[in-house]
Amino acid sequence: MRIVVAGGAGFLGSHLCDALVERGDHVVCVDSFVTGSRANVAHLIRSEAFELLEADVCDGFSVDGEVDAVMNLASPASPTDYFRLPIETLDVGSVGTRNLLELARTADARFFMASTSEVYGDPTVHPQTEEYWGHVNPIGARSMYDEAKRFSEALTFAYHRTHGVPIRVVRIFNTYGPRMQADDGRVVSNFITQALRGEPLTIYGDGSQTRSFCYVDDEIAGFLALLDSDEIGPINIGNPGEFTMLELADIVNELTANTAGVVHRPLPSDDPRQRCPDITRAVEVLGWTPHVDLRAGLERTIAHFASVL
């Protein structure tokens, strides 16, 4: 297939481009490089199966030739970025998503929407199933990201119902691995960066809040399974292994031989107390399960950070 990947130079987008090219697809990577990095896709530039188009999906842009699928990963996705770019985050979730949906509609192409577990907010249902509508503060400190993705989902389904656009919607849970930005504000990158510098790891609150961490290779395999299926979604793709922040900190300190321990800071507002995917649907309809456990994935991620810091 010839596939447009919006946000293809980002953390997840670049790994997705790798996987698509490796399996024989032709990729048109669209990125504005506001948060993406040319270094993430530099190794693909010489491939005949890869095109790089610098463009902002919120602006008018065109893709020449046939398009079989449009995959929308265009959005700031780390706290550092969406707190720095709140209006731009809302724009890309609304205007940008609509422009990409229009591209899919006019090309008669499949549309893949990368949504997020943030649509569940601070959940009152645990683990979170796709049927759960969420518990989100629409005007809270982090609402720019939560609401942008919730709107993107609504717009995607509206195009499906109104125009018959074939859609696939994935809800991504915390993903980690090589090519994460060292300063992106996510807990895995924060902990690893601090540990490699011999600093205490910053834990917000008492550290009892939980997250579920999926290694990037597993996440991308889930994307492709959904893209190639007849399922519409939304479907949770994440690792159901659940860890407290204290448990994660202990593992990172152990793997990096960091003896500085941890330091506690006040818990930010609207920070979810727990987050864990119910992946029953992914297992049953996609035949997908994650395979990389947390320690193995952290070892690979630590090696990457050690090489770039």
DSSP letters, 227-284, are HTSS----EEES---EEEHHHHHHHHHHHHT--S-EEEEPPPTT--S---B--HHIII
Dump pLDDT digits (tens) for 78-122: 888 999 999 999 999 999 999 999 999 999 999 999 999 999 999
Is the pLDDT score of 40 beyond 70? yes
Looking at the structure, do residues 272 and 221 belong to the same domain, yes or no?
no
Region 178-184: mean pLDDT is 90
Residue appearing with tokens 């499906």: 160
Dump pLDDT digits (tens) for 201-244: 999 999 999 999 999 999 999 999 999 999 999 999 999 999 99
Looking at the structure, do residues 51 and 199 belong to the same domain, yes or no?
no
Looking at the structure, do residues 281 and 260 belong to the same domain, yes or no?
no
Looking at the structure, do residues 73 and 136 belong to the same domain, yes or no?
yes
State residue 121 phi and psi, 5-degree precision.
Answer: 60, -140
Is the pLDDT score of 32 beyond 70? yes
185 CB neighbour count, 10 Å cutoff:
14
Question: Is residue 106 a part of any domain in this protein?
Answer: yes
Question: Is residue 133 a part of any domain in this protein?
Answer: yes
Looking at the structure, do residues 44 and 133 belong to the same domain, yes or no?
yes
Question: Is residue 181 a part of any domain in this protein?
Answer: no
Question: Two tokens at 27?
Answer: 């990729």
Residue appearing with tokens 């993406």: 36
Within 8 A by CB and 6+ apart from 18, the residues are 44
The amino acid at 173: F
Question: Two tokens at 157?
Answer: 């389904």
Question: Is residue 182 a part of any domain in this protein?
Answer: no
Question: Is residue 282 a part of any domain in this protein?
Answer: yes
Dump pLDDT digits (tens) for 121-138: 999 999 999 999 999 999
Looking at the structure, do residues 196 and 140 belong to the same domain, yes or no?
no
Q: Which domain holds residue 149?
A: 2-176+214-239+277-286
Catalytic residue, from 82, 145, 159, 215: name it.
145
* CB-count burial class (<10 Å; 0-12, 13-18, 19+) for 238: buried
Looking at the structure, do residues 60 and 162 belong to the same domain, yes or no?
yes
Question: Is residue 30 a part of any domain in this protein?
Answer: yes
- Whichever domain contains 304, its CATH number is 3.90.25.10
The pLDDT > 70 percentage for the chain reads 100
How many domains does the chain divide into?
Answer: 2
Q: Is 145 considered catalytic here?
A: yes
Looking at the structure, do residues 44 and 102 belong to the same domain, yes or no?
yes
Looking at the structure, do residues 23 and 114 belong to the same domain, yes or no?
yes
The amino acid at 98: R
Q: What is the pLDDT of residue 270?
A: 67
**2: helix, coil or strand?**
strand
Looking at the structure, do residues 265 and 281 belong to the same domain, yes or no?
no
Question: Is residue 110 a part of any domain in this protein?
Answer: yes
First to last CA, the chain: 37
Looking at the structure, do residues 21 and 135 belong to the same domain, yes or no?
yes
Region 268-283: mean pLDDT is 88
* Mean of all residue pLDDT scores within the chain: 95
Question: Is residue 197 a part of any domain in this protein?
Answer: yes
- Whichever domain contains 36, its CATH number is 3.40.50.720
Residue appearing with tokens 């321990």: 261
Looking at the structure, do residues 118 and 262 belong to the same domain, yes or no?
no
Dump pLDDT digits (tens) for 239-270: 999 999 999 999 999 999 999 999 999 987 76
Question: Two tokens at 96?
Answer: 């940008």
CA distance linking residue 13 with residue 92, whole number of Å: 15
Quote the pTM value: 0.95
